[in-house]
Structure formats: C-alpha cells, structure tokens
Amino acid sequence: MASDPTSTARRARAPSAGPGAEARDDAPWLALETATPLGSVALGWPDRLLGEITMGVEIRHSEALMPAIDFLLHRTRTLRTALAAIVVGAGPGSFTGVRIAAATAKGLVHALGVPLHAHSSLAALAAPAFQDDRPICAMFDARRDEVYAACYRFDAARREIVTLLPPAALAIDEVLDRFRDEPIYIGEGAVRHAARIREHGGDVALTPPSIPRASSLIWLAGLPEAGRVHDPAAWEPEYVRPPGAERVVT
C-alpha cells in the first residue's frame, strides 16, 4: 500500500445528489475500487483530488480496504462524517474484489446517510484515455481466451459518456469482430492479447494505467446525471458472469 497520497486535478461539474440523502458541495467524495488485484481508494472532488491510496497485490482487499480508507482519511484530516458521498467501482472483475467494495460502500452509505454513486470499473479504466471522439475499449483479462470488455466514447460537447458496448464477458475475437480497427484498446486484457489486436489493425495503448483507479470514479461521478444509485440497499454490482467462472483474485 502506498505511503503517501498523490494528487491530480480534472474538471467536471458535481451532479445533484437527487432524492434522499443529499451530497454537500463543500465536502469530499470517497471512492473505492477493488475489481482488480491492484485496488485503490481516493478522496476529493471531480475537479480536485485530495489523495489516493493504492493497495498492492500482496494484500487481500478484504484485509486492506478499511485500513486504506482510515489511512487516507487520517492523512487528509477528514472525518468520515464529513464525507459528501461514496463512489464505488461496480465491476466486472474479481467477484470477491467487486463484492468487497460493494459491501463496504453500502455499509458506509447506510451508516453515514450519504448518497451512493456506482460506475463500471471498465469505465474507470477507460476514463484517463478519452481523447477526441475515438472509442475506447477497456479490457480485463478473464482467462480462457476471454476478456471482460466494455467500449465507450466521450462526448466532450455534452460532457457525457456514450456506451458502445456494455460490460460483458466475451471471447477476444468477438470484441475485435465488432469494432475492427476503430477503437483504442486498453487494460491488462488488451496487453495480454496485444498481438491479436494488432493483427486486426487495432491500437493498444500502453501509456494509460492498465488498472482502474478510484480517482477516475470520482471524475465519472462528476459528470451530469452520472451513476447515482437511488436505492443503495437493493443495488448490486455488475458481476457479468457467475462467481465460479472468475479468476481467483481476493
């Protein structure tokens, strides 16, 4: 786990909290992302990050998540009761990792009486790579020649994300046959299948992070009408396929 938070800044307008619990404009948002072996928690606003903690692959998310949250809040001198909202990565990915983040987020929302926002972990992976209007296909390795994949285009004029392919577990060739050479492919799944993607004329991005970051979830939550969960108690993440079919990452 990283010893110091890092800072970045992105512009976006914070959305209305909607019915029920109301988000405070002056209070930071806490984001949780544990869909992949390298998890993270972040604190801040859509246009200003206070800090972000990364949890390494040697530590189980079930053991590391709450200590990481406490460490981040302590280092930024933020009380839990001062949080405006919780933002969670909704998967897909490791069934156990996604479930841990979802349960923790729902528990915090219930205890604190704050709104819950949820976004696909694949959208969080894609967010740093958005450029112009070229599609981004985000991929996690799902083994057996399959990937967890989703494809998006960012409409800068309307400040919204257009979903071209919703999160799904697909054979890599099925994704490539749908889009051919138009998108940029990112993520660990894209890196693993880079040769096949290039054979189809596609581009594999190696510069953006190959994992989703919690700070990207906060940016996504700042887009208009984005990700608000109106019934947190009933909400479930995007597991995509049964837990027995997942690769083991906890």
Radius of gyration for the chain, computed over Cα atoms and rounded to the nearest angstrom: 17
What pLDDT, on the 0 to 100 scale, is given for residue 13?
A: 31
Rounded CA gap, 149 and 98, in Å? 16
What pLDDT, on the 0 to 100 scale, is given for residue 50?
A: 97
The answer to whether position 11 is within a domain reads no
CATH code at position 77: 3.30.420.40
Residue by residue, pLDDT tens for the chain (250 residues) are 333 333 333 323 333 333 345 555 689 999 999 999 999 999 999 999 999 999 976 678 888 999 999 999 999 999 999 999 999 999 999 999 999 999 999 999 999 999 999 999 999 999 998 877 789 999 999 988 899 999 999 988 888 999 999 999 999 999 999 986 689 999 999 999 999 999 988 899 877 678 999 999 999 999 987 899 999 999 999 998 766 554 444 4
Rounded CA gap, 167 and 83, in Å? 29
Q: Are residues 100 and 33 in the same domain?
A: yes
Residues found in the chain = 250
Q: Are residues 216 and 115 in the same domain?
A: yes
Query: Is residue 27 within a helix (H) or strand (E), and if so which, with residue range?
Result: none
The answer to whether position 8 is within a domain reads no
Cβ atoms of residues 104 and 135 within 8 Å: no
Q: Are residues 60 and 91 in the same domain?
A: yes
Write down the H helix ranges in the chain. 61-75, 95-112, 121-126, 172-179, 188-192, 194-199, 214-221
pTM of the model: 0.85
Long-range contacts formed by 181-185: CB under 8 A, 24+ apart? 182/134, 182/135, 183/134, 183/135, 183/136, 183/137, 183/151, 184/129, 184/134, 184/135, 184/136, 184/137, 185/137, 185/139
Q: Are residues 115 and 164 in the same domain?
A: no
Range of the domain at 53: 29-121+212-245
Query: What total number of domains does the chain contain?
Result: 2
What pLDDT, on the 0 to 100 scale, is given for residue 56?
A: 79
What pLDDT, on the 0 to 100 scale, is given for residue 210?
A: 82
Decide the pairing of beta strands 146-155 and 160-171: antiparallel
What pLDDT, on the 0 to 100 scale, is given for residue 46?
A: 93
Helix axes 61-75, 95-112, angle to 10 degrees: 40
Chain mean position to CA 137: 14
Q: Are residues 41 and 95 in the same domain?
A: yes
What pLDDT, on the 0 to 100 scale, is given for residue 223?
A: 92
The answer to whether position 130 is within a domain reads yes
Cβ atoms of residues 93 and 237 within 8 Å: no
Q: Are residues 52 and 85 in the same domain?
A: yes
Q: Are residues 149 and 227 in the same domain?
A: no
